[in-house]
Amino acid sequence: MPEAHAHPYDALTPDVILDAVESTGLRCDGRLLALNSFENRVYQVGIEEAAPVVVKFYRPERWTSEQILEEHAFARELAEAEIPVVAPLADAGTTLHEHAGFRFAVYPKQRGRAPDLETKETLSWMGRFLGRIHAIGALRPFSRRRTLDVAAFGDEPSAFVLERRFIPAELEEAYRTLIAQLLAKIRSSFDHGFPLLRLHGDCHPGNVLWDEGPNFVDLDDCCMGPAVQDLWMLLSGEREERERQVGWLLDGYFEFAELDPRELALIEPLRTLRMIHYAGWLARRWDDPAFPAAFPWFNTQRYWQDHILALREQAAALDEPPLSLSR
């Protein structure tokens, strides 16, 4: 990247974006729309006499090319099994391209809306496809992608915010003590040796586009992990509601895959790790000008006070019994 740019993405100008797409053999019509993405930069690009495409420019130095290609191979493996996963398009046999120092991938545009996760039909349908994803995910492990574990999602992000002094001095000891307690509890939850498989990894409702059924998008965080990681973010509401929802979800899931019921005890530990990791993610990206603009509330006294309070509530949630499978 040219040294004159304060952040690598500053060099990703509209001309660079369009030239990158045309380097794959497509002919752009000049239409360009930035989509809602912060970790990477994602754009809808108009194509002459064809449907628009979606182009993802990977954040420099986050993943190796081998890790990205493993993500692409998993997505294409799922799509070839007729699972509705939006996979990258291949040009001359490759799905990962490079232009002006940026690595990028091109995807077909997928229309859709947010899924209605309040109904049995929708959740059972989602469960069936997640069961199929996991049945294929269990066939072989990733060799390059990371594993969802306490070290990567708890130890590292919490250490980063402490070492870089994001935590206000007067809250540091409270945060440090609380994190140590939480991670000790979470480690004991992971000690049961649940099987690990290839996962979507970030299966929240925003990564599902509903169009006559679910379409799963954005496998950027695919990883090795316990199956329940792809299920719990689809649950919401009070405990009674979540137990009903997980029953509907698993009604469909069990048609194609097995799930050790003890994995339900990982839901609150995984939720806690996600909260810790999210704060660390914002801290690591704070030098990207897009982040202070989009998350102005982060790194304020109020933010860290609320974050510590939320983690204290999670400490209590970790002591509650897991959701029941009765349905």
Query: How does pLDDT run across 131-148, given as a tens digit for each residue?
Result: 999 999 999 999 999 999
Identify whether residues 160 and 256 lie together within a single domain.
yes
Q: 212 and 250 share a domain?
A: yes
The share of the chain scoring above pLDDT 70, in percent, equals 98
Whether residues 234 and 299 share a domain: the answer is yes
pLDDT recorded at residue 3:
47
CB 198 within 8 A of CB 224: yes
Query: Using 50, 70 and 90 to split pLDDT, how confident is the model at 325?
Result: confident
More confident residue, 191 or 164: 164
- Pairing between β-strand 214-216 and β-strand 208-210 as defined by DSSP bridges: antiparallel
Residue 237 has pLDDT above 50, yes or no: yes
pLDDT-derived band at 193 (thresholds 50, 70, 90) equals confident
Model confidence at 5, pLDDT cuts 50, 70, 90, reads: low
Annotated catalytic residue, options 202, 220, 221, 288 = 202
Structural domain total, the chain: 2
Question: Residue 249 sits in which domain range?
Answer: 120-317
Tell me if 327 is assigned to some domain. no
Q: Tell me, yes or no, whether 205 lies in a domain.
A: yes
Which entry of 10, 15, 29, 218 is annotated as an active-site residue?
Answer: 218
Given a contact cutoff of 8 angstroms between Cβ atoms, the answer to whether 21 and 106 are in contact is yes
Verify whether residue 260 is a known catalytic residue.
no
Residue type at 143 in one-letter notation? S
Strands (E), 159-301: 197-199, 208-210, 214-216, 223-225
| pLDDT of res. 129 | 97
How far apart, in whole angstroms, are the C-alpha atoms of residue 117 and residue 54?
A: 26
Average confidence (pLDDT) over 68-83? 98
Q: For the chain, what is the mean pLDDT?
A: 95
Last residue of a domain, one of 74, 108, 142: 108
User: 272-281 pLDDT, tens per residue?
Assistant: 999 999 999 9
- Asked if residue 202 and residue 102 are part of one domain, the reply reads no
Same-domain pairing of 313 and 166:
yes
Is 244 within the bounds of a domain?
A: yes
pLDDT for residue 7: 87
Q: Looking at the structure, tell me whether residues 90 and 148 fall in a common domain.
A: no
Q: pLDDT-derived band of residue 1, with 50, 70 and 90 as boundaries?
A: very low
